[in-house]
Structure 1
């Protein structure tokens, strides 16, 4: 009862309950007078599930216009026809090591073990083999028609992948460290480099059986970030901003490796359509998160702490050509429209001592609607543009070989709608 009263008093009065920084501004620091060496080992289990309704654009001459007169209630236009539910799951074990190189200077290393990375497809209600445009497709990639239906992909189906992911190396420095000077906040800047060490994922392979596919995108990723936190009584508000720059690495995949999915395969590796131009173009990602940890209990002498963590998350993902929700089904990289992720996270942290910390969190994200098959037909040369002409897919080498008339033409594109992401994380951190 005495301890409970002390905790309640601290919560009400805002008294300091320990000097540990928020998790987003934790840093390994060595050669301090009272702490000559820091080493952190983190083991994190992460389960991510994405639930997306995939729709398809379709022309219709019966679009309801509620503002039109009664005799003009229907006008032609474009609708989105619900086709399939996509359920993506990613289960992984992340192992990370952080070492203090000097005062407030940290080097880190990480390696994910991807236990399971699956894509599952199933019809939405009221859609089936008889009325689905996926099953009853009569177009070839070049736009020619077929006599009998040729399904774009099998529904229902499940594609499976797994293996070691990309290694990550990082450097971080704390300009201010509240643990050393309590008149200042924690302020970190850092750079993480993701090296494309995972085996290349080939989306054209059928991984619906027992054999699992690879998970590597063969892309270098450089993530710059800065984070702040300032402990004030029981609250430890924080902010973090980040930006990821992708750079194509060696051995990137190109859809030109599989001519069956190309509208104009003859243009592959001709002129401007090099492997670099037709290959993966990972998106730029920028975002922020802000929130606060709230300490419910802390014993500085024993290094014990229990805190709750509430944060808001916002992320922008640029357009690009990469592996998205339909890549496993259509068997190729897909030009994806830009979109936003917004959501939040709730977590709890418990430290049994300075050497051991447990953390659990749940995250919910909403992904704004965006096109999943959005390849450009190509760029017409100046003489065609100035004369008002258009590209001729049958003879013009300026036509993008990635363009697929079945899925990239307006009124046939696939879109991601009602997309939600759920994530559960459990981690254990060991300090030496």
Structure 2
């Protein structure tokens, strides 16, 4: 399993960009605006305004458990790619000595995602069904329509889906081994607004024998409507297909410490954020045996150093190099994963969210209708409900296995005098391999034997879909490569 390092937690970006001040001897991550502090920094009132631009590229291998011959293994299936551009205006206001509040508003300019069959072997690919002269049963090294588990189970239509072709989204990938098999719509807009407060507990410039130490409180509040995915784009273009909101709030705390030694300023930071459903959300809680209903929370830490090869304190100019490593744990919840748009509104995942309380959803009827009527992408739900009732489309949100993100960050920081700062750099990150569809079977205590989840009873988890949550069918993500290039410009007054 190949891995690349790097991730800068979002709160650290705030510390880097928003926390600038006139104090000379603090690392960027422990800067704080300080007002009514003329004797210390010459400022009656500190106000920092900035804007940042981020470009994120993410590539990952989407794998699938494949049970055959009494064995279960992870098999190649798809390659996922995401391209996102974000512009973030930011404001920090000093309230008192080493005490400030800040706010930022990430605006997603565009977010595009697509999937192709895993053919990373290139010219050495061996495909099934005799398309390569070297092929013998069981020796395929690449994926096409003949051996893709997503095609096999009807999760993706055989000729794929292309949201850019609204007139005929189902007929764009007719080759056996197309370059792409699923293209999601372009998304843009707002997800959350970030607000927080930070306070300097210790300050090396005030007391030279002590480090700089910041404590922060931060809230990230959902302000954009939640994104959805509908394949019914031939007669309409649902607004949810173009949103980026996740319908979740986050509350957390963070801390950062640094201490400068001549030209070296080592630092350390940590954070914790608890995530929970917003009022307008697709993180539904159906009760019963569901178990997890909230989004994943996270906790993490970072460490590094700011190296200052040149500085003119009198003119408040400085050039520094920032190197940083980090680790983040995402845990205990559900989420919009790398496969959520593939799963959302798929006839293969139609189901009943009230198990044991009525007729079981006729999933087979839904799939048969979708296969026979590819130009009627919404009719599968009506057909299933006509046969059984109680059927709902799948939202795409799944229960995720806990996982870690690890990485490195490198950036250049320029203080161009007392009023302007420029910072640009890059993050490289990877995630540990983890399952993307990991809903439990349910709770056996509800209907009888606590050791057994009886089918078609209230024991069953209402968000579980056997086609992707059963052992032997689960989706996983691996070989995650995420690179983020960014530039921040800040004016300080």
- Same structural fold, with TM-score higher than 0.5 when normalized by the shorter chain: yes
Q: 1:128 corresponds to which residue?
A: 144
Gap change, CA 1:358 and 1:402, over 3 Å in 2: same
TM-score (normalizing by structure 1)? 0.81
Does the CA-based 8 Å contact 1:86-1:121 persist in structure 2?
Answer: yes
Kindly state the Cα deviation for residue 107 of structure 1 after the two structures are TM-superposed. 0.6
- Find 2:182's aligned residue among 142, 149, 156: 156
SS in 2 for 1:292: strand
Alignment of 1:55-94 (within 5 A): 55-61=63-69, 76-94=70-88
Q: State the Cα deviation string for residues 404-430 of structure 1 (Å, max 9, x = none).
A: 121111100110011121111111011
Pairing 1:168–2:168 present? no
Q: In structure 1, what is the Cα distance between the partners aligned to 2:272 and 2:467?
A: 35
Does the CA-based 8 Å contact 2:441-2:453 persist in structure 1?
Answer: no
Gap change, CA 1:282 and 1:383, over 3 Å in 2: closer
Pairing 1:326–2:339 present? yes
Does the CA-based 8 Å contact 2:64-2:475 persist in structure 1?
Answer: yes
SS in 2 for 1:422: strand
Kindly state the Cα deviation for residue 390 of structure 1 after the two structures are TM-superposed. 3.4
Alignment of 1:318-357 (within 5 A): 318-331=331-344, 332-357=396-421
Kindly state the Cα deviation for residue 161 of structure 1 after the two structures are TM-superposed. 1.1
Pairing 1:40–2:57 present? no
Kindly state the Cα deviation for residue 206 of structure 1 after the two structures are TM-superposed. 6.1
Pairing 1:296–2:316 present? no
Q: In structure 1, what is the Cα distance between the partners aligned to 2:243 and 2:25?
A: 40
Gap change, CA 1:101 and 1:138, over 3 Å in 2: closer
- Find 1:49's aligned residue among 42, 57, 71: 57
Q: In structure 2, what is the Cα distance between the partners aligned to 1:319 and 1:288?
A: 18
Pairing 1:424–2:485 present? yes
- Find 2:465's aligned residue among 404, 414, 422: 404
How many correspondences in the alignment? 373
TM-score (normalizing by structure 2)? 0.71
- Find 1:228's aligned residue among 253, 257, 269: 257
Q: In structure 1, what is the Cα distance between the partners aligned to 2:338 and 2:233?
A: 15
Pairing 1:25–2:30 present? yes
Q: State the Cα deviation string for residues 80-136 of structure 1 (Å, max 9, x = none).
A: 110000112221011110000011110111101101122210111121112212112
Higher strand share: 1
Alignment of 1:198-347 (within 5 A): 198-204=224-230, 213-254=242-283, 269=286, 272=288, 281-331=294-344, 332-347=396-411
Does the CA-based 8 Å contact 1:252-1:279 persist in structure 2?
Answer: no
Kindly state the Cα deviation for residue 216 of structure 1 after the two structures are TM-superposed. 1.3
**Structure 1: unaligned runs, 5 residues or longer:** 1-17, 62-75, 140-148, 257-268
Does the CA-based 8 Å contact 1:137-1:150 persist in structure 2?
Answer: no
Kindly state the Cα deviation for residue 151 of structure 1 after the two structures are TM-superposed. 5.4
Q: 1:102 corresponds to which residue?
A: 96
**Structure 2: unaligned runs, 5 residues or longer:** 1-22, 120-141, 162-180, 345-395
RMSD: 2.4
Kindly state the Cα deviation for residue 207 of structure 1 after the two structures are TM-superposed. 7.8
Does the CA-based 8 Å contact 1:239-1:290 persist in structure 2?
Answer: yes
Q: In structure 2, what is the Cα distance between the partners aligned to 1:46 and 1:346?
A: 14
Does the CA-based 8 Å contact 1:280-1:333 persist in structure 2?
Answer: no
Q: In structure 1, what is the Cα distance between the partners aligned to 2:210 and 2:75?
A: 56
Does the CA-based 8 Å contact 1:153-1:330 persist in structure 2?
Answer: no
Does the CA-based 8 Å contact 1:137-1:152 persist in structure 2?
Answer: no
Does the CA-based 8 Å contact 2:292-2:332 persist in structure 1?
Answer: no
Q: In structure 1, what is the Cα distance between the partners aligned to 2:74 and 2:284?
A: 27
